[in-house]
Amino acid sequence: MAIAHSLCFAQAKGGVGKTSIATNVAGLSAAADLRVLLVDLDPQGDCARDLGYPRDDGAETSAALLAGTEPAVLRNVRSNLDVIPGGALLGDPFLDALLDNRALADALPTRLEAMIRSAGDYDLVVIDTPPGHTSLNRAVLAVVTTVLAPVRLDASSIEATNDLGERFAKARALNPYLTLAGAVLFAVPVTAHRLEADARRQLLELLGSDALVFRSVVRYGVAASKEARDLGKLAFEVDEISEGARVARFAALRANRDGSQIVETTRFISNAGALADDYHNLTAEVLGFMREQHAEFERASA
Ligand SMILES: Nc1ncnc2c1ncn2[C@@H]1O[C@H](COP(=O)(O)OP(=O)(O)OP(=O)(O)O)[C@@H](O)[C@H]1O
Ligand SMILES: [Mg+2]
- What domains does the chain contain, in order, with CATH numbers? 6-225+274-301 (3.40.50.300)
Residues with CB under 6 A from ligand 1: 14-20, 42, 44, 46, 131, 187, 218, 220-222, 225-226, 229, 275
Ligand 1 centroid – CA 55 distance (Å): 18
Ligand 1 centroid – CA 19 distance (Å): 7
Mean pLDDT of 261-279: 81
When mean pLDDT is compared across 1-10, 115-124, 161-170, 177-186, the lowest value belongs to 161-170
| 3-state DSSP assignment of residue 249 | helix
Ligand 2 centroid – CA 302 distance (Å): 38
**Structure confidence at residue 271 (pLDDT):** 82
C-alpha 258: how far from chain center: 48
Q: pLDDT tens digit string along 83-102?
A: 999 999 999 989 888 888 99
**Structure confidence at residue 10 (pLDDT):** 86
Mention every residue, 6+ apart, whose C-beta is less than 8 A from residue 104.
66, 97, 98
| 3-state DSSP assignment of residue 181 | strand
Long-range contacts of 152-155 (CB under 8 A, 24+ apart): 152/15, 152/16, 152/17, 152/185, 152/186, 152/187, 153/185, 153/187, 153/188, 153/189, 153/192, 153/195, 153/196, 153/199
Ligand 2 centroid – CA 128 distance (Å): 7
**Per-residue confidence band for 142, with pLDDT thresholds at 50, 70 and 90:** very high
For ligand 2, a single-atom ion, the residues with CB < 5 A are 18-19, 46
Residue 289 reports pLDDT greater than 70: yes
